[in-house]
Chains A and B, each alone.
Chain A
């Protein structure tokens, strides 16, 4: 069965600092991997996705993620965080859009 672990429930970073959100997955084959962001009172929005090819994928809002098969990880990064990045971030893994399994989420707080 597929599963996703986001080890960090809550992360606080200063505005302008770099960010890395961790995601580890368990899946029997090459997974499709996603990162979504949810701002308060909003639905989820796709930041980026990995299906195959280049293991470093670029997304919207300056985010990127790197797929590391040997570590079963798909960590999300941003070089310089903005206050508007404060939100909840979800990693998801799956073989079909509706069959994705979501992690528990990581809440990002940005300090001025």
Chain B
């Protein structure tokens, strides 16, 4: 496989469920990101990991919990979500998190919270 792969592509969960989104990059990059894309809102950066260390957390509610066990894998653990959390969650990677790098995006995980 090449590029950035996200699973599952679609997820429906109740507000009391616990689920996880998975992202894997096959590009040898050192930085990985979670973005949230909601209808009629700009792309929101949620978390940044560089060399497996979280370097940025943009005031994301604690019901979203990221995990980066190595430079190739990134998870987003979800629990007690709200309907307004329904969105497309995009994972991205870049060579590193410094200036100028292009982002490589996965196809996203479409989350629906009932």
Task: Type the 1/0 row for A78-102, where 1 means its CB is closer than 8 Å to any CB of B.
Answer: 0000000000001000111111111
| In contact, B43 and A102 (Cβ under 8 angstroms) | yes
Of residues B48, B100, B108, which shows the largest number of chain A Cβ atoms within 10 Å of its Cβ? B100
Per a CB cutoff under 8 Å, which of A46, A97, A103 touches B100?
Answer: A97
For window 38-97 of A, CB contacts with B under 8 Å fall at 41-46, 49, 51, 90, 94-97
| In contact, B107 and A42 (Cβ under 8 angstroms) | yes
| Count of chain A residues near B, Cβ 8 A | 24
- Residues on B with C-beta less than 8 A from A94 are 99
A interface: dominant SS: mixed
Q: In the complex, what distance in Å separates the CA atom of A46 from the CA atom of B92?
A: 12
Q: Tell me if B66 counts as interface (CB < 8 A to partner A).
A: no
Q: Tell me if A104 counts as interface (CB < 8 A to partner B).
A: yes
Task: Knowing A32-B99, A43-B4 are in contact, say whether A98-B94 is a contact too (CB < 8 A).
Answer: yes
Q: In the complex, what distance in Å separates the CA atom of A43 from the CA atom of B94?
A: 14
Per a CB cutoff under 8 Å, which of A32, A49, A95, A99 touches B45?
Answer: A99
- Residues on A with C-beta less than 8 A from B106 are 43
Q: Tell me if B113 counts as interface (CB < 8 A to partner A).
A: no
Q: In the complex, what distance in Å separates the CA atom of A46 from the CA atom of B4?
A: 14
Q: How far is the CB of B21 from chain A (nearest CB, A)?
A: 13
Task: Knowing A43-B90, A44-B90 are in contact, say whether A100-B103 is a contact too (CB < 8 A).
Answer: yes
Task: Knowing A90-B43, A97-B96, A102-B43 are in contact, say whether A49-B105 is a contact too (CB < 8 A).
Answer: no
Q: Which residues of B contact A (CB under 8 A)?
A: 4, 6, 31, 33, 40-43, 45, 48, 56, 90, 92, 94-108
Q: Which residues of A contact B (CB under 8 A)?
A: 32, 34, 36, 41-46, 49, 51, 90, 94-105
Chain A to chain B contacts (Cβ below 8 Å), 19 pairs: A42-B108, A43-B90, A44-B103, A45-B105, A49-B102, A95-B99, A96-B98, A96-B101, A97-B31, A97-B95, A97-B96, A97-B99, A97-B100, A97-B102, A98-B94, A99-B48, A100-B45, A102-B43, A103-B42
